[in-house]
Amino acid sequence: MSNTPDKEEKGFFDKVIETISEIWDGTKDKAEELKEEAGETIDHLKEKAAKSKTAVSAKAANVKKDASLKAEKLENKAKVEKEKLTAKAAGIKQKASAKLAATETSAKASVEKVKDKAESKAAATIAKAKKEAVVVKDQAEKSLKKASSVVDSTKKQAKEKAKSVADTAKTKAVAAKKEIAGKVSAKASAVKKKADNQK
């Protein structure tokens, strides 16, 4: 028995090899197609990813830009508010300072006014007191002068009256003395005459 394959077996193997070759070729072609498709898909995904990345980057840039603009606006707004508050505080401070200065000026003016009024009143009181003192002094001098005049007049009257009384008393005394002397003389004459008659 020979080991050489007969024609039928050879034909069968050829068919098997051919079939395998066809399957291989088909698989190879399919693999190439899949590879190409996969490559296209990967490229598409890469492109899509790149586009998405670009879009995301653009969106992120826009968001960053918007955030920056918002932050800048908020900063400017805060700056404006700060300036307003600073100006308002300065205005309030200036107004308070002006009011304080006006109050101090008014207080000083009131003090000066009260002082001037007190000085004027004191001066008027002193002038009035001096005037009243002069009047009192004049009245006292007049009263003293009048009292002196009254005293002098009283002294004069008393002296005159004393002289008059003395003169009257002297006159009466002389008259009484003369009268007594006359009576004594008459009595003595009568006694003498009586005595002479008795002789």
Q: Where are the alpha helices (DSSP H) in the chain?
A: 7-198
Q: What's the rounded Cα separation, in Å, for the pair 73 and 66?
A: 10
Q: What is the number of alpha carbons within 13 Å of residue 48 lying toward its C-beta?
A: 6
Question: Which residue in 174, 154, 152, 150 sits closest to 162, CA to CA?
Answer: 154
Distances (CA, A) of 95 to 86, 90, 104: 14, 8, 14
**194-198 contacts at long range (C-beta below 8 A, 24 or more positions apart):** none
One digit per residue, the tens of pLDDT, for the chain of length 199 reads 445 555 565 566 677 777 777 777 666 666 677 766 666 666 666 676 667 667 767 777 777 777 778 878 878 887 888 888 788 878 888 887 888 888 888 888 888 888 888 888 889 989 998 898 899 888 888 888 888 888 888 888 888 888 888 888 888 888 888 888 777 777 777 777 777 776 6
User: What's the distance, Cα to Cα, between the start and end of the chain in Å?
Assistant: 275
Distances (CA, A) of 57 to 51, 66, 69, 101: 9, 14, 17, 63
Residue 45: the pLDDT is: 66
C-beta of residue 21 within 8 angstroms of C-beta of residue 13? no
Q: CA angle at residue 99 from 94 to 103, to 5 degrees?
A: 150
Residue 1: the pLDDT is: 45
Residue 2: the pLDDT is: 47
C-beta of residue 52 within 8 angstroms of C-beta of residue 44? no
